[in-house]
Amino acid sequence: MHAGHSFEAKMESKLISRLTNLFSSGDLSDVELLVNDSLSFKCHKFILAVQSEVFRVMFYNHHWKEAQKEQVTLTEDKRCVPYFRKFLEFLYTEQVHLTTEDALPLHLLAAKYNVEELQSRCEDFMLESVAMDRSLAHTISWFHYARQVRLRKLEEECGRFIAWNMDFIMKSPDWTSMDPDDLSSLLERSDLVVENELTLLEAVMEWLRIHPDYSEELIQHIRFPMMSPEEICSLQSYKGNIQRFHPGFESSCMLVYKANCLPMETIARHHDITSSSFTPRLYTSDKFGVRWQLSNWSQLGTEVTSTEFSTTVFKKSSIWEVNLFPYGGRVTQYSVGNQDGQLRIVTKTDKRELMCRVCKCQESESNHEHRLAVLIYQFANGNWIVRDVKELDVYDSSFFKSKIEDLVPKAELPRYIHEDTLTLHLIGQTFWKMEEENLHVIRTPEEVWREYS
């Protein structure tokens, strides 16, 4: 059996070698492909037709004028021209070594000529390589392409990765060249990792200086209530520019001051506090959480590692306590009875269990919920990137009720440990909900006018 497999592999290798030589030499070719009047390839109609239905119709359907020609002119996207030879080599050998530079152009060619196997390989490569792009430039272009051609898995993976590393992207040279529709779709997301809403607004303003026609579409996604009065004051230096892009800037400022001065119950009578405007993103400033670096990871024992941090939302603070069992928590599997009563059988797990509670909160329990977001960082290509985000609903309690059973599975740990350190960022979020008394409040036109006049 083993010898049979070895023989088949050897024959396959020989066949690939011969087909490669056939393509390289042009021996026995019966068609010449002229690509964008700049590249010429001597090919074999039969081989191309076997691999591509488009070439099959082109060369063997006599209603097509190309079927009668020995030289066929092809017009390709200029991004694809440098990789057309590599595309043809795949048609001959079904082998390809993909890179971040050529995966998208080859997918374009594979889609145009209906080469499903190459399409699949390119998409799989891009999915696997999203986090490996040093500059994120390719990830941004893949995201745009995936949205255009409806590659939903790739769109989702790229969109999530861009959102989690938005701070990094906003500082990159590619920021101001981002497609407006792509940027708008990103600004709708609540999982954007940014320092705060102010830095996001400043980055959007920078983008709008080059693309001012999209101001109305983009500014509507800025969550002004999530800014502090101090942050709003810092905008006064270029207030005129903001008002040019956002005529309702004064009203947005007034809402910020109200949210930080009035009880949330009062705000809820006039505004939908469950809307996206009042929904936090993944803010990394000290006001919303804390960076947690677990050094000497290999030396940590089975004992719990703890940290505490505070968050401030609308001038109200909460105190969070987080426990992590680096090498497994102790759990009660079952209890058995004996002459002394109940005997607990306790075992140790090999999961990195994280537990959280809010031990102090100044808000009413009935109008909000808490959630902990844990950003898990990976050091890749010289940069710290957010590689995963775990979320946990948390309750106000004197004891721990909420937990993530396995924060980082054992098999994935090597990806995240850098210089014997696991780097996390803990973000405490508050989500508002409408209380019963505010659910049926109807505002008159006069009330609306008084508020904004």
pLDDT of residue 136: 80
Give which of 369, 412, 413, 411 is closest to 391, Cα–Cα. Answer: 369
- Please give the residue that has the higher pLDDT: either 214 or 401: 214
Residue with tokens 């993530």: 404
Is the backbone of residue 86 left (phi > 0), alpha (psi -120 to 50) or beta?
alpha
Q: Which residues pair with 427 in a beta bridge?
A: 289, 373
pLDDT of residue 10: 59
Q: Distance (Å, rounded) from C-alpha 142 to C-alpha 100?
A: 10
Q: Distance (Å, rounded) from C-alpha 362 to C-alpha 376?
A: 29
Question: What CATH number was assigned to the domain covering residues 284-432?
Answer: 2.60.210.10
Sign for the pseudo-dihedral over CA of 159, 164, 170, 171: negative
Q: What DSSP letter does each residue of 428-453 carry, written as one string?
A: EEEEE---GGGTT----HHHHHHHH-
pLDDT of residue 444: 44
What would the mean pLDDT of 314-329 be, rounded to a whole number?
Answer: 87
pLDDT of residue 315: 82
pLDDT of residue 191: 98
**pLDDT tens, residue by residue, 86-97:** 999 999 999 999
Give which of 139, 217, 134 is closest to 178, Cα–Cα. Answer: 139
At residue 329 the predicted structure's pLDDT band, cuts being 50, 70 and 90, is: low
First to last CA, the chain: 85
Q: Distance (Å, rounded) from C-alpha 96 to C-alpha 85?
A: 11
- Please give the residue that has the higher pLDDT: either 299 or 400: 299
**pLDDT tens, residue by residue, 244-298:** 778 888 888 899 999 888 888 889 888 999 999 999 999 999 999 999 999 999 9
For the 1-132 domain, the top CATH level (class) is alpha beta
Look up residue 130 and give its two tokens: 């999203």
Give which of 397, 423, 191, 194 is closest to 324, Cα–Cα. Answer: 423
**pLDDT tens, residue by residue, 221-241:** 999 999 999 998 888 766 667
pLDDT of residue 8: 60
Sign for the pseudo-dihedral over CA of 112, 84, 117, 152: negative
**pLDDT tens, residue by residue, 147-190:** 999 999 999 999 999 999 999 999 988 899 999 999 999 999 99
Q: Distance (Å, rounded) from C-alpha 182 to C-alpha 144?
A: 6
pLDDT of residue 452: 40
pLDDT of residue 22: 82
- Please give the residue that has the higher pLDDT: either 84 or 24: 84
3-state SS, residue 399: coil
Q: Distance (Å, rounded) from C-alpha 301 to C-alpha 437?
A: 51
Q: Of 87-91, 120-124, 442-446, which gets the smallest average pLDDT?
A: 442-446
**pLDDT tens, residue by residue, 341-395:** 554 444 567 889 999 999 888 777 678 899 999 999 999 878 899 999 999 999 8
pLDDT of residue 227: 94
Residues making up the chain, counted from first to last = 453
pTM of the model: 0.85
pLDDT of residue 28: 83
DSSP tag of 273: T
Q: 422 with 272: CB under 8 angstroms?
A: no
Q: 114 with 52: CB under 8 angstroms?
A: yes
Q: Distance (Å, rounded) from C-alpha 264 to C-alpha 186?
A: 28
Q: Distance (Å, rounded) from C-alpha 434 to C-alpha 364?
A: 12
pLDDT of residue 63: 83
Q: 287 with 199: CB under 8 angstroms?
A: no
Q: Distance (Å, rounded) from C-alpha 244 to C-alpha 240?
A: 6
Backbone φ and ψ of 255, nearest 5°: -65, -35
pLDDT of residue 137: 85
pLDDT of residue 382: 83
At residue 441 the predicted structure's pLDDT band, cuts being 50, 70 and 90, is: very low
Q: 399 with 357: CB under 8 angstroms?
A: yes
Residue 24, pLDDT > 80, answer no
Q: Of 118-127, 204-213, 345-354, which gets the smallest average pLDDT?
A: 345-354
**pLDDT tens, residue by residue, 50-82:** 999 999 999 999 888 878 888 999 999 999 999
Give the start-to-end residue ranges of the domains of the chain: 1-132, 284-432
Q: Distance (Å, rounded) from C-alpha 243 to C-alpha 249?
A: 6
Q: What is the dihedral of CA 235, 238, 242, 247, to 10 degrees?
A: 100
